[in-house]
Chains A and B, each alone.
Chain A
Amino acid sequence: MTETTSISKVTGVNGNMVSVEFAGAVMQNEVAYVLPADGSRLKSEVIRVRGREADLQVFESTTGVKVGDPVEFTSQLLSVELGPGLLTQVYDGLQNPLPELAKQAGYFLKKGLYVYPLDKEKKWSYTPVAKIGERLKAGDTVGTVPEGIFKHRIMLPFAWNGEWTIIKTIEPGDFTIDTVVAEASDGSQTRKITMVQTWPVKIPITAYDDKLLPRDPLITQVRIIDTFFPVAKGGTFCTPGPFGAGKTVLQHALSQRSEADVVIVAACGERAGEVVEILREFPHLDDPRTGQKLIDRTIIICNTSSMPVAAREASIYTSVTLAEYYRQMGLNVLLLADSTSRWAQALREESGRLEEIPGEEAFPAYLESLVASFYERAGLVRLKDGKLGSITICGAVSPAGGNFEEPVTQATLKVVGSFLALSRDRANARRYPSIHPLDSWSKYASIVPKAKIDAARQMLRAGNDVNQMMKVVGEEGTPTSDFVTYLKSEFIDSVYLQQNTFDPVDSACGSKRQEYVFDKILSVINKSFSFSDKSAARTFFQNLRQAFIDWNYIPWDTDDFKAQEAKIDELLATA
């Protein structure tokens, strides 16, 4: 990494962009270090070359940099280290482990301090898989170590082309990550394999056989998502919404409750406080699916809003590369990127400093293609051993002014499979999650048959129409039958679409429970009621709502659950 190919000098500083006159050759997106007089090493990346001058974006504050300061080029693209021990880690956008930085530098981040991302001391219980003489390709399993509840595959490095024959292996045992666990030859050269490999973040890992159409739903335990706007394993979805609409709370719910094997939380340019909760709580929260702690399946990439903006741009790529690495092990990975708008803004800042001709709202013209290529790194793949692995990407979008017409939201909508529109009105009315039931859409299949959902959706739409009408003609001008339609739609909304993520029971609604409760809701929708007047109808639905809300707070498959259901049935029989 630190091998120097050429020494060059700074010629200009503009914000976090440094211009450098270089000697020798430089590569686009190559990593370089600016070396100011105070002895620090500021990591940077080449983003443009013009003549003998290269423009570097520096991943740090450039205060103190002078014209004439030396610059070191590394001939390496910006890369991450891939190996056992990534899970449970908290990294910044450049894969520096933040807790380790804290140990070395105290409360505040220190400029130019970088730490190796993996634990080099820890010993892993290694079991060889590939035998001597076996021919392997990039991504094939060489051996395994246990990490969390699954076997972490040590794979033939993705960057190795062609076929390699294993010529040396070691016996099973406890080793550190740097141990050479095998050697392989492609006929012309012999190379050593350790438990770690590096991969440049901006290039997708493609060591798989096929990309498949995502089919199976990824259960999130959020009712409105799983039932109405599902997302498939390997799919993509986005959650645009104005501030205060509950994006972050929703992302947290997803990170906790989703039935994924590995969850990668990319806090990209958002508040540090949001990550802290995950950081501090996940080590104590149980993952009901595995019996382990939630942190054991989680990696946090944390480049929050006050951290250097260029590293924010890198953080999105870092996180998706880690996702790809775990996908290569046949796992279902969920990547939560909050927020892709901040990433786009980082691109905009960079583009502005490069004085590129701006596109809409000063975003660079290549924004759309970058957004598309990011989401295209999601997908369901068949690995070379026939196993399936997937990456599901959820991108939060923070549209300026909450206006979905803006460039980032529009670029995102073109490439995602599911759109969960968060609504300020619903949030203001405390209807959480504030996913709008009429504006959102999904191209994936739900856990509930389509006909049933259509019936519910129909009722929601009709209820909304009646509500609009009532605003004009008033309640007394509305026929009772219409009024009941309205009450039914409100009923679906308040007991099914709304969900209390802060309640331990209500926040985790499994797929079985959803199917079961949804049928009960349908029976209410399909029932024809005859009420003497509107106030009788309102009272009935208020009572029914109360009974259902209480039901939602009772654990699934218990006697109390059945007892409450009996109460609801009784209530329904009275009308």
Chain B
Amino acid sequence: MKKIYHRIIQISGNVITVEADNVANGELAEVKSPRGTSLAQVIRLDKTRVYLQVFAGSRGISTDSEVRFLGQPMRVSASDALLGRIFTGNGSPRDKGPALTDNMIDIGGPSVNPANRVIPKNMIRTGLPMIDIFNTLVESQKLPIFSVAGEPYNELLARIAMQAEVDVIVLGGMGLKYDDYLYFKETLDQQGALSRTVMFIHTAADPIVECLLVPDMALATAEYFATQENKRVLVLLTDMTNFCDALKEIAITMEQIPSNRGYPGDLYSQLASRYEKAVDFETAGSITILAVTTMPGDDVTHPVPDNTGYITEGQFYLVNGRIEPFGSLSRLKQQVNSETRSDHRALMDNMIRLYAEYKEALEKQSMGFKMSDWDSKLLKYGNLFEQRMMDLQVNIPLEDALDLGWKTLAECFTPAETGIKTDLVKQYWPK
């Protein structure tokens, strides 16, 4: 029988302190207050003092509330029964289904041994030319979608979820507006994808500490499906900035010295330990992570997108409803785009370079300068590029998209003007 502690000596933010012994770091506890029962987790030990982070928040907790330690860390039930279900951040059902207690596994487990990783080799086709040609998504990749409030990032996430070729989708929502939660649920349901989806949803109205649990719950579940069931899992997280803000809140409560704009010094490590769960297991399935990160003030140098960018394997910028060709980058595309078609890389590089020149020409035009012949060609090209390549409402196979690229080039330029190697021009230039 576990001992029950009654004397809470400090309540500060969502962190309470009790005097107790024989408590392990990271252990779970139940806190019973007049307001109800909440889970809590040990985050610091100092002699007999135990600091607990209360999942439901400390509101309503009194100094004589009951604390009972459970002797185990945070866990999630891992089984096929998860599919089609929706949970809160702490793992209790958000739909009307039963609570799951089978095969409980620890969340936030250790890192994959780098020696066990394999070179990513499978492209995930999304049917979006801006991704498939220019920034190919690869199995086991971790990629954020950098955006700002108001952009259709959740729509993009949902579309990728529908069109991408994967077995299981795990959606982790953090600080999600209730409307957005319903949007995901309905979209996935309509497309018949709910049955291959598990959702862990923390909405903006839920206790902040639960927000911190969402990525770990989602990723532990993903690891189960990838290692035990050999599934290709796509984990969608939105919005990681809310997760970081929750981290900040706890760190400040714990009186940690903030490093940059109030965020804790270990923000990078915290994010990395989640994102690095993306992996392709040699003899099992894989985990791919797409995570929305809204940039406060549209500033990519803000600590959250900045640290994220250093961890992830590229990033998509979603600006004005389009994936921005500059800055957007899939670092793993080289692993797969030599296998797709011989012209893929050259076309990708040169179309983007020309689009960059188009932008310069556009700038000149807007300043009222006379357009040279070259500028006019660029302007024509840029418009076609935006129409044909940047549309996010399409589902085009990669090969067709490449042909469309050549067609666009041929409509605007001579082969020498494109800067593409001569042998490729010979093979692919539309006659």
Contact between chains at B419 and A349 (CB < 8 Å): no
Q: Could you say which of A400, A475, A549 contacts B301, with CB atoms under 8 Å apart?
A: A400
Q: Could you say which of A271, A281, A430 contacts B311, with CB atoms under 8 Å apart?
A: A271
Contact between chains at B329 and A273 (CB < 8 Å): no
Max chain A C-beta neighbours (<10 A), residue from B48, B284, B300, B345: B300
Q: Which residues of A contact B277 (CB under 8 A)?
A: 306
Contact between chains at A63 and B112 (CB < 8 Å): no
Q: Which chain A residue shows the least CB distance to B361?
A: A475
A63 to chain B, nearest CB (A): 3
With A108-B113, A304-B276, A400-B260 known to touch, is A66 a contact of B25 (CB < 8 Å)?
yes
Q: Could you say which of B45, B114, B326, B338 contacts A304, with CB atoms under 8 Å apart?
A: B114
In the bound complex, CA of A424 to CA of B329 (Å): 12
Q: Which chain A residue shows the least CB distance to B299?
A: A401
Q: Could you say which of B109, B110, B370 contacts A474, with CB atoms under 8 Å apart?
A: B370
Max chain B C-beta neighbours (<10 A), residue from A271, A277, A550: A271
In the bound complex, CA of A279 to CA of B118 (Å): 9
Contact between chains at B364 and A474 (CB < 8 Å): yes
Contact between chains at A108 and B310 (CB < 8 Å): no
Q: Could you say which of B21, B227, B306 contacts A68, with CB atoms under 8 Å apart?
A: B21
Q: Is B430 an interface residue (CB 8 A)?
A: no
Within 8 A of B (CB), among A260-292: 267, 269-273, 275-277, 279-281
B9 to chain A, nearest CB (A): 16
With A305-B273, A342-B268, A345-B265 known to touch, is A66 a contact of B23 (CB < 8 Å)?
yes
Contact between chains at B301 and A403 (CB < 8 Å): yes
Q: Is A348 an interface residue (CB 8 A)?
A: yes
Q: Could you say which of A61, A68, A474 contacts B367, with CB atoms under 8 Å apart?
A: A474
Q: Which residues of B contact A494 (CB under 8 A)?
A: 419
A52 to chain B, nearest CB (A): 13
Q: Is A13 an interface residue (CB 8 A)?
A: yes
Contact between chains at B111 and A430 (CB < 8 Å): no
B247 to chain A, nearest CB (A): 13
Looking at the complex, which of B88-96, B183-191, B251-259 is the stretch in contact with chain A?
A: B251-259
- Using a Cβ–Cβ cut-off of 8 Å, how many residues does chain A contribute to the interface with B? 88
Within 8 A of B (CB), among A321-374: 339, 342, 345, 348-349, 352, 355, 358, 361-363
Q: Mark A535-559, 1 if CB is under 8 A from B, else 0.
A: 1001100110110011001000000
Size bracket, chain B contacts: 35 or more
Q: Which residues of B contact A362 (CB under 8 A)?
A: 257-260, 265
With A102-B116, A244-B329 known to touch, is A428 a contact of B356 (CB < 8 Å)?
yes
Q: Mark A408-439, 1 if CB is under 8 A from B, else 0.
A: 00000000000000001000111000000000
Within 8 A of B (CB), among A1-27: 11-15, 19
Q: Could you say which of A12, A107, A339 contacts B47, with CB atoms under 8 Å apart?
A: A12
Q: Which residues of B contact A108 (CB under 8 A)?
A: 109-113
Q: Is A211 an interface residue (CB 8 A)?
A: no
A4 to chain B, nearest CB (A): 24
Q: Which residues of B contact A403 (CB under 8 A)?
A: 301
With A277-B119, A305-B311, A429-B353 known to touch, is A401 a contact of B45 (CB < 8 Å)?
no
Q: Is B386 an interface residue (CB 8 A)?
A: no
Contact between chains at B256 and A99 (CB < 8 Å): no
Q: Is A521 an interface residue (CB 8 A)?
A: no
Q: Which residues of B contact A475 (CB under 8 A)?
A: 364, 369-370, 372, 375
Q: Which residues of A contact B293 (CB under 8 A)?
A: none
Q: Is B207 an interface residue (CB 8 A)?
A: no
Q: Mark A39-70, 1 if CB is under 8 A from B, else 0.
A: 00000000000000000000001111111100
In the bound complex, CA of A345 to CA of B266 (Å): 8
In the bound complex, CA of A66 to CA of B430 (Å): 71
Contact between chains at A273 and B313 (CB < 8 Å): yes
Contact between chains at B276 and A550 (CB < 8 Å): no
Q: Mark B21-33, 1 if CB is under 8 A from A, else 0.
A: 1111111000000
Contact between chains at A279 and B115 (CB < 8 Å): yes
In the bound complex, CA of A12 to CA of B257 (Å): 19
Q: Which residues of A contact B109 (CB under 8 A)?
A: 108
In the bound complex, CA of A471 to CA of B361 (Å): 10
In the bound complex, CA of A401 to CA of B296 (Å): 13
With A107-B227, A400-B303, A401-B301 known to touch, is A348 a contact of B310 (CB < 8 Å)?
no
Q: Which residues of A contact B265 (CB under 8 A)?
A: 345, 348-349, 352, 362
In the bound complex, CA of A243 to CA of B417 (Å): 31
In the bound complex, CA of A107 to CA of B116 (Å): 6
Q: Is A476 an interface residue (CB 8 A)?
A: yes
With A67-B47, A305-B311, A361-B260 known to touch, is A553 a contact of B421 (CB < 8 Å)?
yes
B268 to chain A, nearest CB (A): 6
A566 to chain B, nearest CB (A): 16
Contact between chains at A66 and B259 (CB < 8 Å): no
In the bound complex, CA of A108 to CA of B27 (Å): 21
Q: Is B200 an interface residue (CB 8 A)?
A: no
Q: Is A212 an interface residue (CB 8 A)?
A: no
A319 to chain B, nearest CB (A): 15
Q: Is B46 an interface residue (CB 8 A)?
A: yes
Q: Which residues of B contact A307 (CB under 8 A)?
A: 111
Q: Could you say which of A11, A273, A545 contacts B419, with CB atoms under 8 Å apart?
A: A545
Q: Is B117 an interface residue (CB 8 A)?
A: yes
Q: Which residues of A contact B273 (CB under 8 A)?
A: 305-306
Q: Is A534 an interface residue (CB 8 A)?
A: yes
Contact between chains at A349 and B115 (CB < 8 Å): no
Q: Which residues of B contact A361 (CB under 8 A)?
A: 259-260
Q: Which residues of B contact A272 (CB under 8 A)?
A: 111-112, 114, 117, 276, 279
Q: Is B81 an interface residue (CB 8 A)?
A: no
Within 8 A of A (CB), among B45-99: 45-48, 73
Q: Is B272 an interface residue (CB 8 A)?
A: yes
Max chain A C-beta neighbours (<10 A), residue from B117, B269, B275: B269
Q: Is B44 an interface residue (CB 8 A)?
A: yes
In the bound complex, CA of A101 to CA of B44 (Å): 30
Chain B interface residues toward A at CB < 8 A: 21-27, 44-48, 73, 109-120, 140, 227, 256-260, 264-266, 268-269, 272-273, 275-277, 279, 281, 284, 300-303, 306-307, 309-311, 313-315, 326-327, 329, 331-332, 334, 338, 345, 349, 352-353, 356, 363-364, 367, 369-370, 372-375, 416-417, 419, 421-422
The 10 closest A-B CB pairs, nearest first, are A401-B301, A474-B369, A305-B272, A63-B26, A306-B276, A362-B259, A243-B309, A98-B115, A306-B111, A13-B45
19 contacts between A and B (CB under 8 A): A63-B26, A66-B24, A67-B22, A98-B115, A102-B115, A106-B113, A108-B109, A276-B119, A277-B119, A304-B276, A305-B268, A305-B272, A307-B111, A349-B266, A429-B353, A475-B364, A475-B369, A535-B374, A549-B419
Given contacts A68-B22, A108-B109, A424-B327, 15 further A-B contacts (CB under 8 A): A15-B266, A62-B25, A66-B45, A243-B309, A244-B314, A273-B332, A305-B272, A307-B111, A349-B266, A352-B265, A400-B301, A400-B303, A471-B364, A474-B364, A546-B419
Chain A interface residues toward B at CB < 8 A: 11-15, 19, 36-37, 61-68, 90, 98-99, 101-102, 105-111, 242-244, 248, 267, 269-273, 275-277, 279-281, 302, 304-307, 309, 339, 342, 345, 348-349, 352, 355, 358, 361-363, 398, 400-403, 424, 428-430, 471, 474-477, 494, 502, 534-535, 538-539, 542-543, 545-546, 549-550, 553
